[in-house]
Amino acid sequence: MSLRDSILATLVAALVLSTMPWLLSDFALSLTLTCLMYAGLAVSWAMFCGATNYLSLATAAFFGLGAYVTAWGAEGLPYGVAVLLGGLLAAAFAGLVGAAVLHLRGAYFAVITFGLGELVRHAVTYYEKAFQGTVGRVIEEPPEAVTIYHTVLLLAVLATVTALVVRASRLGLALRGIGADEERAQTLGVNARRAKILAFALSAFFAGALGAAMAVRWTYIDPPTVFNPFIGFQTVLIAMVGGAHTIIGPIASSVLFSLLTEFLRLQFPYLFMILLGLLLILLVLYLPGGLASLIGRWRWRKSNA
């Protein structure tokens, strides 16, 4: 599909999804919201990590920072502004940190970004206790469910369109070159440092904005909730299971994951984590290219039939 067709398809899907608040039950709508959140997180994660083969576990840090922008601004800041600021703060933070650690690779980068999440969580906890005298915050007047839904939908759509544009751009090519062989890409003229910092910050923007947008759903916000490492792990898993080098893969797998998690939790409340883990292991073992690689295989079979 060409870039224009892909963007068009995304917008059509967005239009259909935007009518859901009037069609779905509260339960189904909240499930859709979770799908959209993870789709946005996974797509923006894959935008940087999928192309460059970097494993970032910093999603929780960006998400939590965004959520705290909403919490801190709950009294004065309009919801939309908080979401924007949450994204910008996360992007600025990612740019700063990226400049310091993006020369690391593989396990070192993964561990550093994970540590980063913990660092930010403890820093926020300390700040709140020492200077604000509180351990958590209550959001007294959350926006309407429809507003939240539409904001998260908008962010997921923006993340997808951005990912599509980046993939078709020179930045996308530079990132793929870095993923394949960073030094080789550099000797052909790629400013690897700049490309990585830019893409890392761009991907953090969406995680931060989604954190800020989703924060109002909890009504009570404290660091363990919004800096939950599970959010980061889940994002990475969804993107990898879907196929991190694609865009449709992470979207499809975020839907699958959210539905599956919900189904297993309702049907097998005691076994659900075990089953989810088992499923993951099987997927990683037998489908290392992710769900998106199924499409490739199917096409290959069809053309060889």
Report the interface residues with another protein, using CB under 8 A: 170, 173-174, 176-177, 180-181, 183-193
Nearer to another protein, 118 or 181 (CB): 181
Q: How many helices (H) and strands (E) does the chain have?
A: 13, 2
Compute the least distance from the CB of residue 127 to another protein, in Å.
37
Residue 182: CB minimum distance to another protein, A: 10
Q: What's the rounded Cα separation, in Å, for the pair 105 and 53?
A: 9
The whole-angstrom separation of Cα 293 and Cα 300 is 11
- When the beta carbons of 16 and 180 are compared against another protein, the nearer one is 180
Closest to another protein by CB, 103 or 129: 103
Q: Least distance to another protein from the beta carbon of 191, Å?
A: 5
Which residue in this structure is represented by tokens 């080789």? 184
**Closer residue to another protein, CB minimum distance, 118 or 183:** 183
Taking the least distance from each CB to another protein, the nearer of 150 and 176 is 176
- Least Å distance, CB 296 to another protein, is 12
For residues 235-271, b (16+ Cβ closer than 10 Å) or e, as one string?
Answer: bbbbbbbbbbbbbbbbbbbbbebbeebbebeeeeeee
Alpha-carbon span 248 to 152, nearest angstrom: 18
Tokens standing for 96? Answer: 């700063």
In angstroms, give the least distance from the CB of 192 to another protein.
Answer: 7
Q: Which is nearer to another protein, 144 or 181 (CB)?
A: 181
Give DSSP secondary structure letters for 219-284.
Answer: SEE-HHHHT-HHHHHHHHHHHHHH-TT-SHHHHHHHHHHHHHHHHHHHH-TTTHHHHHHHHHHHHH
Provide the token pair at 53: 């083969």
- Closest to another protein by CB, 235 vs 246, is 246
Minimum distance from residue 193 beta carbon to another protein (Å): 7
The one-letter code for the residue type at 21 is P
CB of 196 to another protein, least distance (A): 12
Instruction: Tell me the one-letter amino acid at 64.
Output: G
